[in-house]
Each structure stands twice: as C-alpha cells, then as structure tokens.
Amino acid sequence: MSLFLPKLSCKKDVDEVIKSVAEKVLVLRFGRDEDSVCMQLDETLAKTSHDLSNMTSIYLVDVDKVPVYTQSPDHTKFVGCFKTKQDFIDLIEVIYRGAMRGKLIVRSPIDPRNIPKYDLLYHGI
C-alpha cells in the first residue's frame, strides 16, 4: 500500500514539506517499508488519504535514509499502529479542528484501550 503514498528520501525533502504544509495536519510515517507494523499503518494511511485530503498531507519517510529525526523524543509522535481506520480519521479531525481554533493541545478521541502501550527501558540511568 505504500506505493500510493508519497515518499521523502532525504532530510532536505522532509524540511521542505514541514515548511510548506500549512492549513493542514502533516502526517509523517517514519519506518521501514518491509516492517509488518509499518505495512499495516501504510494500509490505513493509504485508505484514508483521499477522504482526509482536505485536512491532511501524508508522507512516508524511511528511517534508514533520514535517521536525523528519529533520535529525538517528541510529544507529537504516535508510536504504533491504529486499531481501526476510523481511529485515525477521528484523530486527524480532532487535531485539524483544534488547530483551526488555535488550540495547541487537544484531547484524543481514541479509546484508551485502542492505544498501544509500551514499556520503555532506559539503559544506563
């Protein structure tokens, strides 16, 4: 499914997209095309890209080609995959409508049971 979504192959391309996308939610999927979780997410992104085209711009970024953005923790990242296509649509709509009203923080519409949970292991602390 990643064939239907535009890909960014270098840091310059990612920077240009970040600077040029305005009035829309920018979705950057960082991962590897052959990874099973990424393939599942790509399918959801491809199926919803047309329906959400007025609200979002979706791009795929290979972490092996552009590793610079994967090294910093960020509160705006969603780690994992969406349980349903509707979860992704609802999240984009809430972020878009909140941003259009000038809100910096919005409440997630996704059921907490559908959000992936991870145990973070910190080495050397």
Per-residue pLDDT for 6 more than 60?
Answer: yes
> Which pTM does this prediction carry?
0.82
Per-residue pLDDT for 73 more than 70?
Answer: no
Domain boundaries, the chain: 2-114
Per-residue pLDDT for 67 more than 80?
Answer: yes
pLDDT in tens, 81-106: 788 899 999 999 999 999 999 999 89
Q: Which of 107, 14, 6 is nearest to 63 (CA)?
A: 14
Per-residue pLDDT for 1 more than 70?
Answer: no
pLDDT in tens, 14-30: 999 999 999 999 999 98
pLDDT in tens, 25-49: 999 998 888 888 889 899 999 999 9
Dist. CA 25–CA 51, nearest whole Å: 13
State the pLDDT at residue 84: 86
Q: What are phi and psi of 24, to 5 degrees?
A: -140, 160
| CATH number for the domain formed by residue range(s) 2-114 | 3.40.30.10
